[in-house]
Amino acid sequence: GDSVTQMEGPVTLSEEAFLTINCTYTATGYPSLFWYVQYPGEGLQLLLKATKADDKGSNKGFEATYRKETTSFHLEKGSVQVSDSAVYFCALSNFNKFYFGSGTKLNVKP
């Protein structure tokens, strides 16, 4: 069945460092891909999405490119801030079903 695998955390970075959180997926057909962010004590917020191959989703300095050839949707940010500390979930939507990865906790230190 469809699934999402993302790198385990926690990931600890210093402010202004480059961020990559890896995400790969398994799916039939043509899924849509998402990154959600969950700040402490809050619900999940959609960070960015891509609905077809080679699409790049971007928001708040974060980017991810839908790579069908490598079945990946890695999240990147050029310069992280302390306020980016949160848990990041990769997810896919396919045939009216949604699948989440297990989440990657990001800690950004000043």
Partner 1 sequence: EAGVAQSPRYKIIEKRQSVAFWCNPISGHATLYWYQQILGQGPKLLIQFQNNGVVDDSQLPKDRFSAERLKGVDSTLKIQPAKLEDSAVYLCASSFGTGAYGYTFGSGTRLTVV
Size of the site for partner 1 (CB under 8 A): 20
Tell me phi and psi for residue 28, to 5 degrees.
-90, 155
Per CB under 8 A, the segment of 18-26, 29-37, 59-67, 76-84 that binds partner 1 is: 29-37
Q: Which residues pair with 88 in a beta bridge?
A: 37, 104
Q: What is the per-residue burial (b if ≥16 Cβ within 10 Å, else e) of 69-101?
A: eeebbbbebeebeeebbbbbbbbbbbeeeebeb
Question: Binding of partner 1 at residue 51 (CB under 8 A)?
Answer: yes
Q: What is the DSSP letter of 72?
A: B
Question: Binding of partner 1 at residue 102 (CB under 8 A)?
Answer: yes
Question: Binding of partner 1 at residue 17 (CB under 8 A)?
Answer: no
Among 25, 34, 62, 66, interactor with partner 1 by CB under 8 A? 34
Footprint of partner 1 on this chain (CB under 8 A)?
32, 34, 36, 42-46, 49, 51, 89, 93, 95-98, 100-103
